[in-house]
Amino acid sequence: MAWRVSAYLIEGELDNTHLGKVTGWMQFAGMKEKVTFDLKGDFHRDIRGAKIRFQGDAYESDTPADAEQYMEGFASHQEGHVGDITAGLPPADYVAYPYVEWYGEENGRVVIELEPVQVEVIGTPIPACESDPVSREQQKRNMAEFLGSLAAEMNLPQERAICISGSTVIQADKRSANKKVRGMKLLTQEIRRKLPPLNGQDGKGGKAVVYLKLFTPDSSFTWFLTEGSPIADESGKEVDFHFFGLVDGHDKELGYVALSELESVRGPLGLPVERDLHWQPKTLEEIAPEMFRSDERKEGRT
């Protein structure tokens, strides 16, 4: 659950040369003014004490069509606490790719995910051996406070919300929840490179590999995707992306789904689809063995 703005980021710079504080700016498509930062906390050990500059996927000359609508309500000055901010360099205490997260007073939890080529480290970080890893307990407290603020915004009775160490039970009006929760980037460049094209795993049956897992955090629907290809208009411009894989919802079944459809899905609490950041490729038969037992019997007869 976060306001995820990766697709709208044009460029930015964050500075942690004064320990205990992160300052800087970012430019987003859909916003005329730069967003400035004054956050409490530090980068992860791979870049602590340095600056980072980064380029996003958006451009001022070619902004996403929904940029202005998506970024509406995003504060032009962000104050609050640093979450996990890393370039994904050794020692990778969190993830092995650039990840920028903060907990703002106006917009709650905000997350940006980037590719390594999009980030430049300026200056010399403090040697990792001279710093402690970012406290996971502190990050759990940050998440719990964020969930607590959502519950308060929803006018949820205290006895109906549990926000302890990042775990929560929330029942609320989805329009209220959407004020601080926006969809994440479901299809990154890294996943595009790994994902076979449509029909690229034909004939493999249960041996087909799932490279991408998506899920609704407030319901039971999960998509295990094995293939995908862009859909272009007559001019050759990409207008959508179609996936193939296994959907586990009311039933388990194989089929196609469009990226635009996934981006529009909302669960019963109004939460958007999320990508499993820690997913490791598995075969379909590992995920749903009951669907592929006939394949195993056929292999046994050969």
Delimit the domains of the chain by residue range: 3-177, 189-301
The pLDDT assigned to 157 comes to 52
Query: How far lies 141's CA from each of 34, 134, 137, 216, 222, in Å?
Result: 29, 13, 6, 23, 28
* Cβ-contact 257, 263 below 8 angstroms: no
* Cβ-contact 121, 87 below 8 angstroms: yes
Query: How far lies 229's CA from each of 188, 196, 245, 276, 282, in Å?
Result: 13, 8, 12, 20, 20
The pLDDT assigned to 187 comes to 87
Q: Which band of pLDDT confidence, cut at 50, 70 and 90, is reported for residue 75? A: very high
Lowest mean pLDDT among 153-167, 177-191, 239-253: 153-167
pTM of the model: 0.59
Comparing 163 with 132, the larger pLDDT belongs to: 132
The pLDDT assigned to 58 comes to 86
Give the mean model confidence (pLDDT) for residues 270-274.
81
The pLDDT assigned to 181 comes to 53
**Tokens of residue 115, six digits:** 């590719």
Beta strands in the chain (DSSP E): 3-4, 9-15, 21-28, 35-40, 51-55, 77-86, 99-104, 108-113, 119-122, 209-210, 212-215, 222-232, 238-248, 252-258, 274-275, 282-283
Q: Count other C-beta atoms under 10 Å from residue 274's C-beta.
A: 17
* Cβ-contact 212, 192 below 8 angstroms: no
The pLDDT assigned to 286 comes to 94
Give the mean model confidence (pLDDT) for residues 210-235.
92
Q: Which band of pLDDT confidence, cut at 50, 70 and 90, is reported for residue 62? A: confident
* Cβ-contact 155, 177 below 8 angstroms: no
The pLDDT assigned to 117 comes to 94
Give the mean model confidence (pLDDT) for residues 257-285.
86
The pLDDT assigned to 179 comes to 44
The pLDDT assigned to 268 comes to 74
